[in-house]
Amino acid sequence: MRVLVLGATGYVGQRLVNLLANTSWAEPVGASRGYTAPGLESLRVDTRDPASLAAALRGFDAVVNCVAGSARAISEGSLSLAQACQTAECTRIVHLSTMSVYGPAEGLINEDAPLDPGLGWYGRAKCEAEAHLSDFVRGGGQAVILRPGCVFGPGSELWVGRTGRWLNSRRLGDLGAAGDGWSNLVHVDDVCQAVIAALQLPLAPHQSAAFNLAAPDSPRWNDYFLDLALATGATPVPRLSQRQLLLDAWGAGPPLKVAELLLKRFGVSPNSVPDPMPPGLLRLWKQHIQLDTRAATKKLGLNWTPYTESLQSSAAWFLKEHQLARKVLEKPLWTH
């Protein structure tokens, strides 16, 4: 099976291409706007251009959509993909969505829960992307939609790197009631294994399936913060008030984000400034939503990576990266 992986430079996409290459049945090709991979076939593709996508998709049996980025890249990219697959007669799309499509819902949520775009631009764009795939299915295609929680593990900049830096700088810790929401953490390899199973899932034309992805033993956020802090030496763990979080996210967040964007524009690493804390995370950390993943366990045959194993490997990666970052910062700007 020839499989095109869109967004192959991303956290999930890179890992997926390598895992697919190790199977006996898949021929993966990585694709993005500037992707090249040593030893693997790769393409440069503009995911918002249906003609470019259709030309790239000819001869492929399936495509995996790992594209992230802006709202436009997510929503319009999905629309272009649906149109391109119909033109190129590529019959199956495996699409990485997100639990954010459930909006502010709380409790145990399965795949039949209504979608709600009310949490912001990201959830809205992902809801629009799923709607475009529904049109593709009505036209005769096959689609598998995966809705992961928070994807982490070694290499996860969002949920390990950034979180670890906040813990080490005492900007994060025990949040009390503000951190009692379920984390819905899922190891990156489990997401990739779900994609691999989805590519082989028996489906007929005009048929789709959706699956939530989160480790059944994933903890509440407060427990994860404490565990990661202990594993990375960020102790003692402070108890932070709601006021401190609000000041960090809404007071310091915007100027730090501006500084980060300016540094990137001038080709300077943003590592020299503290990570901005997006206000949306304050809502996520207290949201009592727990993904029901029984369907993925049964129909995709997933064996979830244990939380303790995921935590240990994530912490080991963080400590290694933290040491490398310190060496770079401590390196003199010039030598005699």
73 lies in which domain range?
2-149+186-214+289-304
What confidence tier does 237 reach under pLDDT thresholds 50, 70, 90? Answer: very high
In this prediction, residues 258-274 reach a mean pLDDT of: 82
Give me the pLDDT at residue 41, please.
Answer: 75
pLDDT greater than 60 at residue 331: no
Number of independent structural domains in the chain: 1
- Structural element, H or E, at residue 99: none
pLDDT greater than 70 at residue 119: yes
> What pTM value is reported for the model?
0.92
Q: Please, what is the average pLDDT of the chain?
A: 92
Is residue 94, in this structure, part of any structural domain at all? yes
151 to each of 77, 155, 158, 192, 278, how far by Cα in Å?
21, 10, 9, 10, 17
Is residue 127, in this structure, part of any structural domain at all? yes
Is residue 124, in this structure, part of any structural domain at all? yes
Is residue 52, in this structure, part of any structural domain at all? yes
Give me the pLDDT at residue 143, please.
Answer: 98
Q: Is the dihedral of CA 153, 158, 161, 167 positive or negative?
A: negative
What confidence tier does 48 reach under pLDDT thresholds 50, 70, 90? Answer: confident
pLDDT greater than 90 at residue 32: no
Give me the pLDDT at residue 308, please.
Answer: 97
% of the chain surpassing 70 pLDDT: 93
Q: Give the three-state DSSP class for 120.
A: coil
What confidence tier does 184 reach under pLDDT thresholds 50, 70, 90? Answer: very high
CATH code for position 98 = 3.40.50.720
Is residue 239, in this structure, part of any structural domain at all? no
